[in-house]
Amino acid sequence: MRRIDLVRFAGGAIASHPMRSALTALGVVIGVAAVVMMVSIGQGAQSRITSTIRGLGSNLLIVSPQFNQRGGNFANQGFQGGGITLSSSDADAIKAQVTGLSAVAGAVRGNTQVIAEGANWSTRIEGVTPDYLVARDLEIGKGRMFDENEARQGRKVVVVGQTVVTQLFGENTDPIGQRIRVGKVPFEIVGVLTPKGQSATGQDQDDMMLGPLDAVRSRVVGRRARGDVVQQIYLKASNGDQLDRVQEDVTELLRERHKIQPNSDDDFQVQNMAAVLESAQQATQIFTVLLGGVAAVSLVVGGIGIMNIMLVSVSERTREIGLRMAIGAKRMDVLLQFALEAIALSAAGGAIGLLIGWAGAFGIAKVGGWPFAVGSSAPLAIGFSSLVGLIFGAYPAWRAAQLDPIEALRRE
Query: What is the full DSSP assignment across 313-350?
Result: HHHHTHHHHHHHHHTT--HHHHHHHHHHHHHHHHHHHH
What residues contact 309, with CB distance under 8 A and at least 6 apart? 20, 23, 24
Least Cα distance to 130 among 144, 142, 146 occurs for 146
Residue 201 confidence (pLDDT): 58
Q: Answer whether 53's CB lies under 8 Å from 279's CB.
A: no
Could you write out the DSSP letters of every residue in 50-72? HHHHHTT-SSEEEEEEPPBTTTB
Neighbours of 378 (CB within 10 A): 16
Residue 197 confidence (pLDDT): 75
Residue 186 confidence (pLDDT): 93
> Average per-residue pLDDT in the chain?
78
Residue 164 confidence (pLDDT): 92
Distance from the Cα of residue 85 to its chain's centroid: 32
Residue 114 confidence (pLDDT): 93
Locate all alpha helices (DSSP H) within 258-330, ordered by sequence. 273-316, 318-326
Least confident of 108-112, 192-196, 407-411: 407-411
Question: If pLDDT is split at 50, 70 and 90, which confidence band does 209 have?
Answer: very high
Residue 81 confidence (pLDDT): 42
Residue 3 confidence (pLDDT): 56
Q: Most confidently modeled of 193-197, 295-299, 332-336, 380-384?
A: 193-197
Residue 215 or 38, more confident: 215
Residue 341 confidence (pLDDT): 79
Residue 187 confidence (pLDDT): 94
pLDDT at 160 over 90: yes
* Residue extents of the structural domains in the chain: 3-52+279-410, 67-266
Parallel, antiparallel, or unpaired for β 60-65 and 232-237? Answer: antiparallel
Find the mean pLDDT for residues 210-217: 91
Q: pTM of the prediction?
A: 0.60
Parallel, antiparallel, or unpaired for β 119-128 and 208-212? Answer: parallel
Question: If pLDDT is split at 50, 70 and 90, which confidence band does 49 have?
Answer: low
Question: If pLDDT is split at 50, 70 and 90, which confidence band does 79 have?
Answer: very low
In whole angstroms, give the CA distance from residue 301 to residue 355. Answer: 20
Find the mean pLDDT for residues 125-132: 92
Residue 293 confidence (pLDDT): 73
pLDDT at 410 over 70: no
pLDDT at 303 over 90: no
Q: Answer whether 161's CB lies under 8 Å from 245's CB.
A: no
In whole angstroms, give the CA distance from residue 107 to residue 216. Answer: 10
Find the mean pLDDT for residues 36-42: 78
Question: If pLDDT is split at 50, 70 and 90, which confidence band does 74 have?
Answer: very low
Question: If pLDDT is split at 50, 70 and 90, which confidence band does 307 have?
Answer: confident
Distance from the Cα of residue 301 to its chain's centroid: 31
Neighbours of 344 (CB within 10 A): 20
In whole angstroms, give the CA distance from residue 357 to residue 370. Answer: 16
Neighbour-count burial of 241, counting CB atoms closer than 10 A to its CB (0-12 exposed, 13-18 middle, 19+ buried)? exposed
Residue 45 or 1, more confident: 45
